[in-house]
Amino acid sequence: MPGRTAPQQAAPGTMQPLDPSRVRIEDLRGQRRERREGDRVIIEEPGNRTIIREGNQVIIRHDETERFRRTYRDADIRTERRGADEEVTIVRRPDGSEIVTVRDQYGNLIRRSRREAAGREVVLIENRRGGRRPTGYGYSEEEVVRLPPPVVRIPREQYIVDVEDASQDDLVEAFTAPPVERIERSYTLDEVRRSQPLRERMRRVDVDTVTFEFGSWELAGDQAGALTGIAEAIRSALSRNPNEIFLIEGHTDAVGADEDNLTLSDRRAETVATILTERFQIPAENLTTQGYGEQYLKVDTQSPERQNRRVAMRRITPLLQGQNQQ
């Protein structure tokens, strides 16, 4: 979309994250800033979150370095320019390791890597393919991968794992198993986030032990403890491959406006990611989050339903790397 300018990204440290114990969706509405860019409506929220409406498409994007800032409060964080069109944010932890996030001039993620204290750098997420270059911030039709649904040949309870009914071995298997159908190439993170049939190539873990109050993205302390099994399964997967990436998908019920449900779901996914790092020491860079609003209801109802106010998780490393093996 040539000629469009990027939304203004907050300078590091200038926009404080919202405290979910004090702020609900009603309060958030009053802090939004809306503008129009051609056919797109851009809605900016605190915490470097942007809702983009274009035609019948509504998506949400966010800057995950904000989560890194919160979870590693004792880290040394700096942002620098690299050339004319790249911004690099480096989160240096006390052990000397660094999370390096590269974004383009519009704020789109280009790459995430981990740099070890000894200097070795491993690319965890590569978010550009070929010579394609965005001309603005947010949604691009090219991000949607047109694929048929996968042919699933394993039992349903192995393909979609409900945490409440699963053993620890079930969770570990879901987070380490290969795709259920062959992956033809590597995909960008944005392609994975935007393409349901692509994500469905990987097993899903429904975290049904954790649900949210209506209009809230806060988790009570006892619910946070219910993530113990998930954290242990992720830790087991990371012991085999420390470069795994896990997508946390946030959801809502069908009540409310699209914009409200998108930001609620996105913040719910981020809440779970934050708890996994702060409470269970899962490295923040191995997690990524995305909210889907009311698109994927677990219980098919238009009424308020707590089971729909949830998160799900899946390992997406094979999709990012074009792998077909464990």
Q: What digits encode the pLDDT tens for the residues 22-48?
A: 677 888 888 999 999 888 899 999 878
State the total domains in the chain. 1
What is the domain extent for residue 84? 25-321
Rounded Cα distance, 158 and 155, in Å: 5
Nearest to 245 by CA among 211, 202, 195, 207: 202
pLDDT for the residue 132: 65
Tell me which residue has tokens 């190439």.
Answer: 185
Residue 11 belongs to a domain: no
Residue 155 belongs to a domain: yes
Residue 8 belongs to a domain: no
Q: What pTM was estimated for this model as a whole? A: 0.90
Q: Which residues of 281-302 are buried (b: 16+ CB within 10 A; e: fewer)?
A: ebbbbbbbbbbbbbbeebeeee
Tell me which residue has tokens 């240096």.
Answer: 92
Rounded Cα distance, 234 and 282, in Å: 8
Residue 14 belongs to a domain: no
Nearest to 287 by CA among 314, 266, 261, 323: 314
pLDDT tens, 134-145? Answer: 566 655 556 778
Residue 15 belongs to a domain: no
pLDDT for the residue 325: 64
CATH, residue 48: 3.30.1330.60
CB 37 within 8 A of CB 5: yes
Residue 10 belongs to a domain: no
Residue 4 belongs to a domain: no
Rounded Cα distance, 202 and 149, in Å: 11
Residue 42 belongs to a domain: yes
Ranges of residues in the chain whose predicted pLDDT is under 70: 1-22, 131-142, 325-326
